[in-house]
Amino acid sequence: MPSHFTVVQKDSATKARLGRLITAHGEVETPCFMPVGTQGTVKAILPRDLKEIGCQILLANTYHLYLRPGHDLIREMGGLHRFMGWDRPILTDSGGYQVFSLATMRKITDDGAQFQSHLDGSSHLLTPEKAVAIQEALGSDIAMVLDECIPAEAARAYVQVSTERTVRWAQRSLRARGKSDQLMFGIIQGGLFEDLRRRCVEDMAQLPFDGFAVGGLGVGESEAQLNAIGSFTAGLLPADRPRYLMGVGRPQDVLAAVRAGFDMFDCVIPTRNARNGTLYTSTGKLNIKRAEFAADRRPLDEACDCYCCVNFSRAYLRHLYMAGEILSSQLNSLHNLYFYHRLMDKCREAIRAGGAGRWSQIYASLDAG
């Protein structure tokens, strides 16, 4: 049994589990949500505020930090934790998804991902070994192997070739590993094909990874496909290591994934939606741009005790958004991340309490749209 992860309790009504993940910068209670700090910052949020809302761990991105300001500079500055003023755990994505999103600006071969920088058009080759070296220079607590994120509509023949390549890249990543205090997660691909997902898990589970992530979901498939493939794959993964569902972040999708046995989640949805004026409340999503809130004295969510809801009215939040004030993004992002962290609190409480009733109450508080 690995010493860095313990399943503390299993839910009696679902496959959800309560876990404890130990990293070089502290323990993480799972299931947990990781805010996305792509470039070494969670947009519009101070590290101090992240701590106050209960954030245990956040995510930063290899691709972006490699291009700017550079992993060597960050290492010289004492590592990513010191650079960004965050002393709790950090997980770094390998950059595979960002390369995937470049579409015509990249080429995938067995060697790695050849791509052009979105900043200046310069050419780069991101290999499994380089992705490991960059993340070791950053000094993150959890490093992800390089994989190819496969689009939902990809043909089976391509998915099979790509998934086999991802396994070979994972093997190369392990051979390149040099830091004993940095956990490394393998990534399961296989598209929407159960047999390819199963084969990938079988190959990956033989490798000495500290945890496993499921990628290639949340990339255009239907909600039914997401839940079906996610649940199927979670059931195949080793039970003694953390399970991370990458990039899936609608509240109802996170909740379904927790019930399927996943432990870790990340997504830009709460902060991106916040900047666009879409806010999550105990009675569903709310678009603060709507004229009906212009003179609304009520807090954003009367059931929420975050700093935003305790101190400001809907009218003020709408005014900030319509005026283009920076504080709009700050307060909206703070509230949405608070909402997500309270959702994870409720999930952990439901696992501790057991029984289907608690889960029904959580579902009732979410917007089904």
**Which residue has tokens 């809130």?**
293
Q: Phi first, then psi: give them for residue 301, nearest 5 degrees.
A: -140, 110
pLDDT of 3: 87
Question: 210, 239, 267: which is the final residue of a domain?
Answer: 267
Average pLDDT, stretch 363-367?
79
Say whether pLDDT at 293 is over 70.
yes
pTM above 0.85, yes or no: yes
Residue type, 230: G
Q: How far apart are CA 276 and CA 270, in angstroms?
A: 10
273 and 243, same domain (yes or no): no
pLDDT band at 1 (very low <50, low <70, confident <90, very high): low
Here the tokens at position 360 are 């029904």
Residue 345 annotated in active site: no
Give yes or no: residues 190 and 250 share one domain.
yes
Number of domains in the chain: 2
When pLDDT is cut at 50, 70 and 90, the band that residue 356 belongs to is confident
Q: In this predicted model, what pLDDT tens digit does every residue of 130-180 receive, in sequence order?
A: 999 999 999 999 999 999 988 889 999 999 999 999 999 999 999 999 999
Q: CA-CA distance, 295 to 19, in Å (whole number)? A: 45
- Does residue 31 have a cis peptide bond before it, meaning omega lies within 30 degrees of 0? yes
Give the length of the chain.
369
Same domain (yes/no): 57, 100: yes
Catalytic residue among 11, 141, 263, 266: 266
Sign of the C-alpha dihedral computed for residues 81, 145, 66 and 37 taken in this order? negative
Q: Are 326 and 200 within one domain?
A: no
> Catalytic: 93?
yes
Tell me which of 247, 267, 287 is where a domain ends: 267
**CA gap 203, 168 in Å, rounded:** 10
- Residue 272 contacts residue 340 (beta carbons within 8 Å): no
CA–CA gap between residue 225 and residue 73 (Å, rounded):
42
Q: Are residues 197 and 98 in the same domain?
A: yes
The phi, psi pair for 175, rounded to 5°, reads -65, -30
- pLDDT score for 367: 56
Domain boundary among 216, 251, 267: 267
Instruction: Give yes or no for a contact between 129 and 176, defined as CB atoms under 8 angstroms apart.
Output: yes
Pair (182, 326) in one structural domain: no
- Domain range spanning residue 333? 269-369
Residue of 11, 93, 141, 147 with catalytic role: 93
Is there a single domain that holds both residue 172 and residue 263? yes
pLDDT at res. 10:
97
The rounded mean pLDDT for the chain is 95
The whole-number pLDDT of residue 70 equals: 98
- Please list the residues that pair with 245 across neighbouring strands: 214, 265
What pLDDT does residue 364 have? 85
Locate tokens 């939902």: which residue? 152
Tokens 């106050």, residue located: 52
* pLDDT above 90 coverage of the chain, percent: 88
